[in-house]
Structure 1
């Protein structure tokens, strides 16, 4: 299909102030496009998302991975992108057991629903045990954190034009940002990145994920599914995201502002910062005990480590 434009020029009236004097002018402004995107597996629609109409093949693979529909690229036989007047339909043909597993899941979910959340199985699914990245041996320097965010900001063409989309990137020490995707939805951007990494055969354990949004439980879950042991974010995390990162053994770095940042979980993957905290407090950083239940009422099981880059 011919790709839809990811942005549109729209007319606008601007009001600007010069001191106390206001002036008005007309002109065009670039805004991101938002399109309904349906995911259909083996001929049956599974979900519809609002998304930027770009990188649809990456989106198809990444969404399938994050939803647990597939665990590897070979479980997809074919992807067809169908552009209709009302939106885009991504037709995904699953191979063998993956298609049967999805059919079985649909049968389990069928039935009367009264709570508005697709029944208790959907609530359990939302808080499902997260993939563990506890054993991944990746270490970053404080400079890596600042560089990852800076480099991602430099390769966001759609955001530079519109100022209204999120980005997700993959940072490898010594290489920089090796992949990045943008979308109006922060979850979509991360799904597109996941699909691109999978299709490019880039191992998630080889680097860190960098996002321009806040950190919710879904972002942590997606990062762990990708296999990344470090998640770096410009904005703050939720309490449930912190608990989930602990459960996954994932290093969560957030509120990155230039050379400053906060580390909420697993600081030992940033050895210089962890050692500095240890010398400041005359204690070694406490290794958090993995919590198998992200929904547990305790915020975290070890003190949050608040770090500001130094030196």
Structure 2
């Protein structure tokens, strides 16, 4: 096996296009609410999905307007205009620090905010592991940004009856899921499953339940709290185990 000369390796790495990452602020009615490190694409979808998955609003119709602002190299912000009553409730869960690209709950100011009360889903028919596997395989060809940058991005997709409706990508797994959820909500298309290339911690389960999605399928083993929350809230939770086997946890 040949080993590349260090100088050649450096040249190769410098010529490679790398996934972009930038600070993205989400504001509510012009007031700062949260800042994330994220891939600066599909940000209107990101903000819409975040608003639903974090229970800032209960329906997309509660979002009166979405406005994108760009600040050059300093990053971007997305403002959500919502009803004043919802706005004041949301400020009680304001994120007090910047969330990294791998963070789902960074900045919440209390344990109660991190484990918010969820409204259980109605029982939803569980898809077969064969259909989930086929959906994961189909999603790979739709990961446009991952193809451009040669990896480094998570993907999430919303599906209806085994058909992929929207795929979104981000350097952060929570961001990718919010983008996919937001894309579906903005399109008005009904969807019943979200799949993601990431592992599953409790916050992804909370996002799925808050968005009223019946099934969540992930690529790696979930945490014990994720499984507990899925069982308590009637969410079908599957782990794909990187395509080699499937486990249904709830």
Fold-level similarity (TM above 0.5): yes
CA apart distance, 1:83:
0.4
CA apart distance, 1:131:
3.2
In structure 1, the partner of 2:18 is 31
Once the two structures are superposed, the pairs formed by residues 37-48 of structure 1 within 5 Å of their partners are 37-48=24-35
- Give the 3 Å change call, closer, same or farther, for CA 78–210 of structure 1 in structure 2: same
- Give the 3 Å change call, closer, same or farther, for CA 21–219 of structure 1 in structure 2: closer
Task: Give the Cα separation in 1 of the matches to 2:66 and 2:60.
Answer: 11
Q: How many residue pairs get matched?
A: 233
In structure 1, the partner of 2:224 is 239
Query: Does the 8 Å contact 1:146/1:259 carry over to 2?
Result: no
Report which structure shows greater RCO (CA 8 Å, sep ≥6).
2
Task: Give the Cα separation in 1 of the matches to 2:124 and 2:54.
Answer: 26
In structure 1, the partner of 2:123 is 136
In structure 1, the partner of 2:100 is none
Q: Give the number of the structure whose alpha-carbon radius of gyration is greater.
A: 1
Larger strand percent: 1
In structure 2, the partner of 1:112 is none
CA apart distance, 1:152:
1.2
In structure 2, the partner of 1:55 is 42
Query: Does the 8 Å contact 1:149/1:256 carry over to 2?
Result: no
In structure 1, the partner of 2:198 is 213
TM-score of the aligned structures, taking structure 2 as reference length = 0.85
Task: Give the Cα separation in 1 of the matches to 2:4 and 2:61.
Answer: 60
Structure 2: gaps of 5 or more residues: 97-105
Secondary structure at 2:189 match in 1 = coil
Residues 107-146 of structure 1, C-alpha deviation per residue, up to 9 Å, x if partnerless? 9x9xxxxxx9765xx201211233312x233232232011
Structure 1: gaps of 5 or more residues: 1-18, 110-115, 266-311
Task: Give the Cα separation in 2 of the matches to 1:101 and 1:21.
Answer: 58
Structure 1 vs Structure 2 CA RMSD = 2.3
Secondary structure at 1:125 match in 2 = helix
| 2:136 is aligned with 1:149 | yes
Query: Does the 8 Å contact 1:166/1:189 carry over to 2?
Result: yes
